[in-house]
Amino acid sequence: MTDCPNGLIRDQLPEYVHGVLAADAAARIDAHLDGCEDCRAEVALLGKARAAMALFTPKMDVASIAAALPAPRVAAPRVAAPRVAAPRVAAPRVAARRAPRRFAVSGVWQYAAAAALVLAVGSSALWLSAPERSAQRVADSSSTATVPGTAAALPMNAAVVAQSENGMTFGGGLSDLSLNDLQSLLGQMDSVRTLPSSDPSSMTPVLTVNEGGKSL
Amino acid sequence: MGVPHREADATVDLALIARWQGGDQRAASEIVERHAQALARFAASHGVRDAVDELVQDTFVRAFGSLESFRADSSLRTWLFTILKRLMLDRQRAERRGRNAVELEEDHAVQEFNALDGMVADEALLRVREAVARLSPLQREVFTLRVTEGLPYLEIARIVESTEGACRVHYHNAMRAIKEYLSDD
């Protein structure tokens, strides 16, 4: 069995055998086969090869294969997507709700602790800087206390009054302060340099107030 | 050159895929019916016998599991052949590791095909089958895809991960080798 020298024709013989050539191409092959014994023999060989390989191939069970196939996944996400997406949206919402709540609860105590320290520092500073001042004068200024080291005037409730060791009246109970007052007080403490505690759970800030180079 | 025929096939396949993605399970059966036997022939041409149905089923399961990744730049059948070929390679590697088995060689394939000999095949078909089994693995792949499936070289090149020109050379070398084997009778 020899090979036909017409490579273009031989290249198309498998498609010819499968009957997938366009009509004009198939007609050219037919015309060529009429005068080419080699190509006729090759076409016969191709047919035998197809038959042989088909013969040695087991028949597939289409139903069992189809039964093992997964369900379509394209349609499912269209329905499931909102349900899947919902927790992703909800999670930040939960976190967003929790965060301010934690801040609000702990913030009250932070404000209270900070205010107590400010009052303590302020009273000490006032006592150190103006020992000659009378307790009455301090008591009169109880509505406005000056934090040493800052120029800020802290508005205080009139009811906040304290008595220092040298007779200086300074403040009262923190429970008398409203949350707004505490927040306002803390806001004005921005000018006071504060050092956070290394313990994140601690609610007691560490204050460092410089007054004439003195650290308190 | 058969292009309209293949385009029609591709159109049918795409329509079936769309139906299946829309929830029509019958479309899956139709797809299996259209391509299962061709996949089985390809597997059998590799000397696979006992596990052909399992391989074909695994091919479809894997294909349908990632059908959204199918891009119609090749035919569905070509894509399925590619998956099947990977599965066969994985299986061969696993067998080599697990049983220290040798890779399927020509003689091995011939013996497998000889097992059916005399029972179902006439002498002429058997000789052709033997001749095909004696081809190198790559020649056998190209020849099978070209002759039994009528695939163009470009699609064959995608399946066997080669070039169109190399596949043409493999095909003609395979044909020459088969003719030589048959002329020795």
- What percentage of chain B reaches a pLDDT higher than 90? 54
- For A178-188, write each residue's pLDDT tens digit: 777 767 766 66
Task: Note the pLDDT of residue B46.
Answer: 82
Q: What is the mean pLDDT of residues B31-46?
A: 92
Rounded Cα distance between B115 and A148, Å, is: 104
Domain B1-103 bears CATH identifier 1.10.1740.10: yes
- For A32-60, write each residue's pLDDT tens digit: 999 999 999 999 999 999 998 888 888 99
Three-state DSSP at A155 gives strand
Task: Note the pLDDT of residue B100.
Answer: 56
Three-state DSSP at B109 gives helix
Asked whether residue A70 carries a pLDDT value surpassing 70, the answer given is yes
Task: Note the pLDDT of residue A159.
Answer: 42
B37 to A59: CB separation less than 8 angstroms, yes or no: yes
B121 to A17: CB separation less than 8 angstroms, yes or no: no
Task: Note the pLDDT of residue B157.
Answer: 95
Q: Where in chain B is the domain with CATH 1.10.1740.10?
A: 1-103
Most confidently modeled range among A143-147, B63-67, B109-113, B139-143 = B139-143
Asked whether residue B63 carries a pLDDT value surpassing 70, the answer given is yes
| Fold observed for domain B121-185 | Arc Repressor Mutant, subunit A (1.10.10)
**Interface subset of B 120-179, CB within 8 angstroms of A:** 120-121, 124-126, 128-129, 132, 143-144, 146-150, 152, 168, 172, 175-176, 178-179
Confidence class for position B71, pLDDT limits 50, 70, 90? confident
Task: Note the pLDDT of residue B105.
Answer: 47
Q: Which helix (H) or strand (E) holds A210?
A: strand A210-211
Please give the mean pLDDT across all residues of chain B.
Answer: 84
Rounded Cα distance between B126 and A49, Å, is: 9
Rounded Cα distance between B109 and B90, Å, is: 18
The answer to whether the CB of B162 falls within 8 A of the CB of B171 is: no
Q: Is the ipTM of this complex over 0.90?
A: no
Closest to A193 (Cα-Cα) out of A216, A161, A170: A216
Q: Which one-letter DSSP state was computed for residue A212?
A: T
A50 to B52: CB separation less than 8 angstroms, yes or no: no
Asked whether residue A13 carries a pLDDT value surpassing 80, the answer given is yes
Q: Smallest CA–CA separation between B135 and chain A, in Å?
A: 13
- Cite the DSSP H helix spans in A36-175: 37-55, 62-67, 75-129, 135-140
Please give the mean pLDDT across all residues of chain A.
Answer: 64
Residue B132 vs residue A200, higher pLDDT = B132
Q: What is the mean pLDDT of residues A128-155?
A: 46
Following DSSP, what letter does each residue of B80-137 receive, concatenated? Answer: HHHHHHHHHHHHHHHHHHHH-PPPP-HHHHHHHHHTTTTTT--HHHHHHHHHHHTS-H
Q: What is the mean pLDDT of residues B156-160?
A: 93
Q: Which one-letter DSSP state was computed for residue A169?
A: B
Residue A105 vs residue B14, higher pLDDT = B14
Beta bridge partners of A169: A163
Q: Which one-letter DSSP state was computed for residue A146?
A: E
Q: Where in chain B is the domain with CATH 1.10.10.10?
A: 121-185
**Interface subset of A 44-73, CB within 8 angstroms of B:** 45-46, 48-66, 68-73
Residue A202 vs residue B100, higher pLDDT = B100
